[in-house]
Chains A and B, each alone.
Chain A
Amino acid sequence: ETGVTQSPTHLIKTRGQQVTLRCSSQSGHNTVSWYQQALGQGPQFIFQYYREEENGRGNFPPRFSGLQFPNYSSELNVNALELDDSALYLCASSLRGQGSYEQYFGPGTRLTVT
């Protein structure tokens, strides 16, 4: 069974640029959620994708957008990067519709905005 993978591991961008982060879900899972974790805080929910559609969104501006592909992998896009976007971005996959609530996380992408 393949776990959740994310790429890249680390990324440095300049304010105003755009970034794309990628996630491959655990085999057999159909739902992907993205979280932002600032230093010293718990992960904050950005949005969730199920059957290639956004299925719930947290308190993040529209410049945070995403995609889910037919193979259930996903991308997180952030436009017009701000310094406060520097954080660990976590992707989690889960199997929706089977009565299971557990989400399984990837190792994260550390984004630094300068």
Chain B
Amino acid sequence: DQQVKQNSPSLSVQEGRISILNCDYTNSMFDYFLWYKKYPAEGPTFLISISSIKDKNEDGRFTVFLNKSAKHLSLHIVPSQPGDSAVYFCAAENQGGKLIFGQGTELSVKP
């Protein structure tokens, strides 16, 4: 039972353009959502989060949008840079602090 899904295993974007990474979830009881970035041979790095009571959170080049009715969230990176190339995971937090992760999307930003 995959409660958090990232249906695109990979995404390729030109430098300077917008990257949009998508995530769907099934459990309406999740109360917090997070995005992590992971480089090879490193642990996931926290990027940005959003509470279930909000629909948008912005931090510099990163913006997360939450559509509760569609059970969908997305991460926008503008402008994309080659250093953004990594695997991006969305995660949902249930009561008690357990993070449930999607399968990840590998972003490649080409110069």
Binding site for B on A (CB under 8 A): 4, 6, 31, 33, 35, 40-45, 48, 50, 55-56, 58, 90, 92, 94, 96, 101-108
User: Total contacts A to B, CB within 8 angstroms?
Assistant: 67
- Total number of B residues with any Cβ neighbor in A under 8 Å: 24
* A44 CB contacts on chain B under 8 angstroms: 101
Known contacts: A48-B98, A56-B96. The answer to whether A103 contacts B49 by CB under 8 A is no
Report yes or no: A45 in contact with B99, Cβ–Cβ below 8 A. Answer: yes
A96–B43 CA distance with the chains assembled, in angstroms:
21
How long is the Cα–Cα vector from A4 to B46 in the complex, in angstroms?
A: 13
**A6–B43 Cα gap in the complex (Å)?**
10
Report the bound CA distance from A55 to B104 in whole Å.
Answer: 26
Is the Cβ of A90 less than 8 Å from the Cβ of B43?
yes
B41 / chain A contacts, CB cutoff of 8 Å? 107
B52 to chain A, nearest CB (A): 11
Task: In the A-B complex, list the 9 residue pairs whose CB atoms are closest, starting with the nearest.
Answer: A42-B101, A105-B43, A101-B32, A56-B96, A105-B44, A107-B43, A45-B98, A101-B93, A43-B101
